[in-house]
Amino acid sequence: MPAAYQEVVRSRALVAEEMAQREASLNRRHDPAVQSLEEAFEAERRQVLALQRSAASTATARALADATAKMEATEGELAKQSAAFRTDERLRTSDLADLRRNMPPSSVLISYATYTRYKPISPREFFQLTPAYMAFVLHPDSGQVAAYDLGEARPIEELVKRMRNSADAEAHGGGLGSARNEREYRVAGEALRKLIWDPLNPELTHAKLALVVPDGVLNLVPFSALPEGSGYLVEHGPVIHLLTSERDLVPDDATQKKSGLLAIGSPSFQLAHLDASPATLRGSSVPCDAFSKLTFNPLPGSLREVNDISSSWQRWNSSEPARLLTGEQATRAEFVRSASAARVLHVATHAFVLQQNCGDGNPLLRSGLVFAGANTNRDASILTAQQIASLDLRGVDWAVLSACNTGNGELRDGEGVLGLQRSFRVAGARSVVMTLWPVDDQVTRHFMHVLYTERFGARATTADAVWNSARKLLLERRAAGQSTHPWYWAGFVGAGDWK
């Protein structure tokens, strides 16, 4: 079983890793010394290949040995000078022992995986291929790997769809039907918990932190909001934190140290109109032919949100600057220029996810963020996930995507979600706080106040900060007699480095 799990780990997120290596290589070329070494390494590699193809002789053997030694020396020097290169090498060679060494005490690593199994359909031993889910569980103090067959994918996917439909109904219901919506959510969520979480309970007895790598539609599940008893998992242990892949546990040893907060909020979209919807939702999911005609509405709550965060930041991190980009200053060009210098990025604006027939087959062209001027000059105001992936965000500790559906995108088995969250991780951000569904302007502002208080006021880890914030909002709403539908408190999740 350890060998099978090792193969799952090594095959996870290969597309995303290849993208990260390609973008990191482009970014490293900003350093002339590294660029020169890479060019020399490539030339020496070609020379070695040419000598290997030539006819064997004593002279050729000596030349090949000399060329190989020279290439290896250059490779070693490149590894010393490029932190990203060293990270790539470590990630390609990580194994289960690496994962265990980097797991915190009292934690458990849960890796979900989709697979195809043979299902008998007749006594004559005819079979059909059936998609299914399983989970691997790893503990830091044990060389054993536990494996659990969770059953066919179809019922799991149907329950996830029902939960998300309930959240969508609450998002657009204006508070009408909240009790019914929450009942429907809880029925589907409890059934899902019994399929994907309860079978793992024997592994969770002593765990304080569950590090979860989802697969397939489980990427869209807020694990904190799985119903348990009369409440939800967030009210009980352990803390659950998402990883984009198991390799998130391997530290990157980034030499870049960045400082300060860059917060973007309430861009001036211009010519925006207020609609009659009961809530101002930060996002859209539209066909690509309708996207050019879409009008982006103002987000007044996001201005108060970033002002509040900036004030709190200066109180807790007085030695680090806080820079705000709002109104006409919240442009795409200014974000691209400034993002690589900050330790924390906070983006409170509209986001979009387009249908799968958009983007010329590239999933990172189907989602993005919206900046100032989007209603008058779309081309200069939209930042796609593909463009974000090409930024150099190594050294960014936190990227908080305070907009609708920033955790959504194209689902690929073994790859996770290819969208905004993945693009920030590819660019080098250590942790991303994202949304799993449409979020309300005012509710988001309150959640972010609690989140930053936890993270920078109480100095909580990313995992604890997100988890504690969700629990506090749930308890506040329950004490006030308000709806406790997970749409109000569970949409934000963290992914990447748990620290």
Domain ranges of the chain: 256-496
Q: Helix, strand or coil for residue 351?
A: strand
pLDDT, residue 422, reads 86
Band (389; pLDDT cuts 50, 70, 90): confident
- For residue 422, CA distances in Å to 175, 338, 410, 416, 459 come to 32, 20, 10, 8, 25
pLDDT, residue 412, reads 62
**Predicted model pTM:** 0.82
pLDDT, residue 488, reads 96
Q: What is the largest CA-CA distance in the chain?
A: 86
pLDDT, residue 270, reads 75
The amino acid occupying position 295 is T
- β pairing state of 322-327 and 239-242: unpaired
Tokens representing 422 are 């993945």
Owner of token pair 């934000």: 492
Give the C-alpha separation, 268 to 350, whole Å. 11
Strands (DSSP E) found in 39-165? 107-120, 127-138, 145-152
Q: Helix, strand or coil for residue 159?
A: helix
The residues with which 416 forms a beta bridge, in sequence order, are 412
Provide the phi-psi class of 5: left if phi over 0, else alpha when psi is between -120 and 50, else beta.
Answer: alpha
Give the C-alpha separation, 422 to 429, whole Å. 10
The amino acid occupying position 142 is S
Exposure class string for 58-88: b at 16+ Cβ within 10 A, else e: eeeeebbeebbeebeebbeebeebbbbbbbb
Q: Helix, strand or coil for residue 206?
A: coil
Give the C-alpha separation, 438 to 385, whole Å. 18
| % of the chain beyond a pLDDT of 70 | 80
Owner of token pair 């992914």: 495
Residue 57 has pLDDT above 80, yes or no: no
Give the C-alpha separation, 158 to 113, whole Å. 17
382-384: strand order across its sheet: 284-286, 351-354, 367-370, 382-384
Cα 373 from chain centroid (whole Å):
27
Average pLDDT over residues 250-268: 84
- Element of type H or E holding 495: strand 492-496
Give the C-alpha separation, 261 to 321, whole Å. 6
Residue 484 has pLDDT above 80, yes or no: yes
Tokens representing 429 are 């951000």
Q: Helix, strand or coil for residue 427?
A: helix
Band (277; pLDDT cuts 50, 70, 90): very low
Q: Helix, strand or coil for residue 385?
A: helix
* Distance between start and end Cα atoms, the chain: 29
Give the C-alpha separation, 245 to 110, whole Å. 11
Average pLDDT over residues 121-139: 82
Give the C-alpha separation, 410 to 353, whole Å. 9
The amino acid occupying position 62 is R
pLDDT, residue 8, reads 81
The residues with which 327 forms a beta bridge, in sequence order, are 267
67-71, 154-158, 348-352, range with greatest mean pLDDT: 154-158
Residue 202 has pLDDT above 50, yes or no: yes
256-496 fold: Rossmann fold (3.40.50)
Give φ, ψ of 188 to 5 degrees. -70, -40
Can you say whether the dihedral through the CA atoms of 209, 213, 219, 221 is positive or negative? negative
Give φ, ψ of 121 to 5 degrees. -125, 0
